[in-house]
């Protein structure tokens, strides 16, 4: 049985559940979309309706998907501060600020200079173009054929389309598919523009693209680690308040595998133990069980909080 800790970071609330039940009434714990939707809810990227439903089979508009991407980038406050828009069909639209940030970031554009189509349903190809561009791989998708097939094929190469089937480029995607795509994308190493010099020496125009994959001395960064300060780790809880007399709500977690945990790669050959918050559960059921966890670092307090955990 998989057990999870669910957390709303903004509210600093951690809840231990005896069975893996999402907070949405219409999401089954055994469904293929459960993990993606749960993780996006925890991160504040996805939300349900006033009745506690996620509505996984409802279609997603271009405005709604853009908002999800902006939330994944942690740029919501910037979006909320923007009042003006250059798209005529976005004037006074609830998503105008989100759309303007997306245009400014360079990962999205409209049908024309003054038409965006915010309430049109987003297609599979459009969603992949947004995500491939957001994590920095637009140039590679263009080299692979450009719009739309280059973005679709390169999205598959990157792993954004993992778990998706029975769609075409023109398929209007539902909320379940959108959640899976975004959840996959935020865990992929980002491509960054690295400046070499102000004079262009050593590279074209003075910069080059560099994949943050942790290889050959490069950092390992994803939207999850870079924007949310959330890390995927594998290891085991080695001490709890019941087993080792730790303060209630804390455990010792031995990190045995992680491409990037707060800037460091760990393996079974160089594990390290960290004190982590877990909320009200004593976590004894996970003691010494090999597990995978999402861990958030509060950069104000330097405290780690386990957001989700599952036995591996």
Strand ranges inside the chain, DSSP E = 4-8, 13-17, 191-195, 207-211, 230-239, 250-261, 264-266, 272-277, 291-298, 303-311
Model's pTM, two decimal places? 0.90
- Percent helix / strand / coil, the chain, rounded to 5: 30, 25, 45
Location of structure tokens 């996959």: 184
268 pLDDT more than 90: yes
Bigger pLDDT: 98 vs 4: 98
What six digits make up the tokens of 125? 């190809």
Is residue 164 over pLDDT 90?
yes
Mean pLDDT of 198-205: 55
Q: Quick one: average pLDDT of 51-79?
A: 97
pLDDT for the residue numbered 197:
62
Are residues 268 and 257 in contact, defined by beta-carbon separation less than 8 angstroms? yes
Give 192-234 as a 3 state SS string.
EEEECCCCCCCCHHHEEEEECECCCCCCECCHHHHCCCEEEEE
Backbone angles phi, psi at 195, to 5 degrees: -85, 135
Query: Greater confidence, 28 or 197?
Result: 28
pLDDT in tens, 93-144: 999 999 999 999 999 999 999 999 999 999 999 999 999 999 999 999 999 9
**Most distant CA pair in the chain, distance:** 63
Instruction: Give me the domains of the chain, ranges plus CATH numbers.
Output: 32-185 (no CATH), 224-311 (2.40.50.140)
């Amino acid at each position: 049985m998989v057990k999870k800790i669910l957390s709303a970071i903004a509210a600093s609330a951690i809840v231990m559940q005896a069975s893996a039940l999402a907070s949405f009434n219409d999401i089954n714990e055994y469904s293929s979309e459960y993990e993606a939707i749960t993780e996006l809810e925890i991160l504040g990227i996805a939300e349900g309706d006033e009745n506690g439903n996620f509505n996984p089979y409802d279609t997603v508009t271009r405005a709604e998907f853009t908002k999800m991407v902006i939330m994944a980038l942690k740029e919501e406050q910037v979006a909320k501060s923007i009042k003006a828009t250059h798209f005529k069909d976005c004037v006074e639209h609830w998503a105008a600020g989100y759309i303007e940030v997306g245009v400014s970031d360079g990962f999205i554009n409209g049908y024309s200079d003054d038409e965006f189509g915010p309430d049109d349903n987003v297609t599979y190809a459009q969603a992949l173009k947004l995500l491939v561009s957001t994590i920095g791989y637009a140039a590679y998708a263009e080299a692979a054929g450009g719009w739309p097939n280059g973005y679709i094929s390169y999205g598959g190469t990157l792993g954004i389309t993992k778990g998706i089937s029975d769609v075409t480029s023109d398929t209007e995607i539902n909320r379940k598919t959108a959640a899976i795509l975004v959840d996959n994308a935020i865990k992929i190493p980002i491509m960054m523009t690295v400046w070499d010099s102000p004079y262009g020496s050593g590279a074209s125009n003075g910069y080059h693209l560099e994949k943050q994959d942790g290889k050959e001395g490069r950092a390992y960064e994803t939207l999850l680690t870079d924007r949310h300060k959330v890390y995927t780790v594998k290891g085991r809880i080695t001490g709890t308040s019941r087993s080792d007399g730790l303060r209630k709500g804390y455990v010792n977690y031995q990190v045995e595998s992680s491409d990037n945990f707060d800037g460091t790669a760990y393996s079974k050959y160089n594990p390290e133990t960290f004190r982590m918050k877990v909320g009200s559960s004593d976590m004894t059921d996970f003691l010494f069980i090999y597990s995978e966890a999402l861990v958030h670092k509060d950069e104000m307090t330097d405290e780690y909080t386990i957001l989700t955990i599952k036995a591996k």
